[in-house]
Structure 1
Amino acid sequence: MAQHPIRARMCGFGEKDRRPLDPPPVVRLRVRDDNGEFMQSEDVEIWKFVVSATLWAPHTDSDRSIVVNPNTLPGPVPTYQSTSAVMSLSEPVKVRNLVGTTVSNAYLLKDENDEMNIFFIFHDLSVRTEGRFRLKFQFTVIPSEETPRAFVESVTWSTPFDVYSAKSFPGMTDSTELSRAFAAQGIKITIRKNSRVRPYSARIGGNPDDDRYPDDEYDNEVDMDYPASGSGHGIR
């Protein structure tokens, strides 16, 4: 991982509310030639590379990408309703727990040290529910006439991160130097001038949606190893 998420505020089950992971997860791709040597990123054809993200439990192989929308669960049944009326209720609706753009194309960009690398950027991922999670990233090469089938070539994981309720969310962190480097190159990514840490009193007794403590402010909007020519794929 070039950049791990640390925390986020849960975005709930509305369709418009988005609370992106902070900082945005970023995966770096490194490519080896047939001799096992790292290639220059500028010499790699990146147009057919993609990475997808899914949400998992922090310490087990348990997928958390799908969750039941609590708004679709049956409520208390009035005493005047018959059993047959209860049985006719619709099934609870399952929705994505990880929302936003879960697939990233490859970008050839300079990092915070002004070095050119291949990155996959997940700038708008949000999680609907409160809890502790980690992200699983899977690297795939888009099929072509030469390789008509797509396979997961390699996998890497983020470190565990926390998703808070609106009331307990401690606020957003300062933008990282890597995020700032991407924004300077035209990438749509959240940049904050200062960290947004909410006072403890606001977290325990204040209005969780108080606009005095906005989550972010816009100025503009894990390591992977990939051997070239089929010599083996690896990400870390």
Structure 2
Amino acid sequence: GIRSNSTSLYVRQQPRVALVSTTGTEKNRKPIDPPPFVELQVERRVDPSQHFLNNPYIFSTVTLYKADVDQDYDDTPGKSLAGTFVSSANRLKNEVNIDGCYFVFGDISVKVVGTYRLKFSVYEMRKDGQGVVVYLGAVISDKFQVQTQKDFQGLSESNYLTKSFHEQGMHLRIRKEPRTTL
């Protein structure tokens, strides 16, 4: 298994803005823009062949994190977040065509207005039959704004990395051009 002291985590795509998600409007729910991507790297001296890229037992969870204090916004993700809070590891090519291990969060919305960060925690389920889950580390995003409908400027055009991951089979909504509100 991978050891946490040989791993590094990077937020490769930072969340910038989100439209607050009001309960009961699942179809109107807008995910955080742009969708956050987290990359896991494992040191070559530990995994020279980079086998971890094909490890189906690695996954990441996301929680809403306070903007200025290092603690979770609340104790259960379902209170403040909506959508999919877990991502399995995906072997994807980045913008320079190099394989990496990415966690893709294309469907998270926030239910509370304000400024927050996201905390991504990464784990490996050990396949030795014990069902042991090993914590590999965490990374915290930059701050982003969760806005009400009247303040919300619309979503930006999907960038190259989002389009690339979409083309590689990730379930991501793609926007060709920025929406303008009249």
Q: Same fold (TM over 0.5)?
A: yes
Q: Tell me which of 61, 73, 79 is aligned to 1:64.
A: 73
Q: Find the structure with the greater CA-based Rg.
A: 1
* Cα deviation, residue 198, structure 1: 2.9
TM-score of the superposition, structure 1-length normalised?
0.66
Q: State the Cα RMSD in Å.
A: 2.3
Counterparts of 1:20 and 1:2, CA distance in 2: 17
Structure 2, unmatched stretches of 5+, are 1-10
- Match of 2:133, SS? coil
Counterparts of 2:61 and 2:121, CA distance in 1: 5
Instruction: Give the aligned partner of residue 24 of structure 2.
Output: 14
User: Quick one: structure 1 residues 155 and 192, their matched pair in 2 at CA, closer, same or farther if it must change by over 3 Å?
Assistant: same
Instruction: Give the aligned partner of residue 7 of structure 2.
Output: none
Q: Size of the alignment, in residue pairs?
A: 171
Counterparts of 2:157 and 2:54, CA distance in 1: 33
* Cα deviation, residue 95, structure 1: 5.3
TM-score of the superposition, structure 2-length normalised?
0.84
Counterparts of 1:144 and 1:189, CA distance in 2: 30
1:32-71 matches, cutoff 5 A: 32-33=43-44, 35=45, 39=48, 41=50, 44-65=53-74
Counterparts of 1:131 and 1:42, CA distance in 2: 40
* Cα deviation, residue 42, structure 1: 6.1
User: Quick one: structure 1 residues 137 and 43, their matched pair in 2 at CA, closer, same or farther if it must change by over 3 Å?
Assistant: closer
Instruction: Give the aligned partner of residue 222 of structure 1.
Output: none
Alpha carbons 1:127, 1:163 under 8 Å: kept: yes
Identity of aligned residues (%): 30
Instruction: Give the aligned partner of residue 23 of structure 1.
Output: 34
The amino acid across from 2:153 in the alignment is P
Instruction: Give the aligned partner of residue 170 of structure 2.
Output: 187
Q: Tell me which of 80, 87, 90 is aligned to 1:107.
A: 90
Structure 1, unmatched stretches of 5+, are 68-93, 200-236
Instruction: Give the aligned partner of residue 71 of structure 1.
Output: none
Q: Tell me which of 145, 151, 155 is aligned to 1:162.
A: 145
Greater share of strand: 2
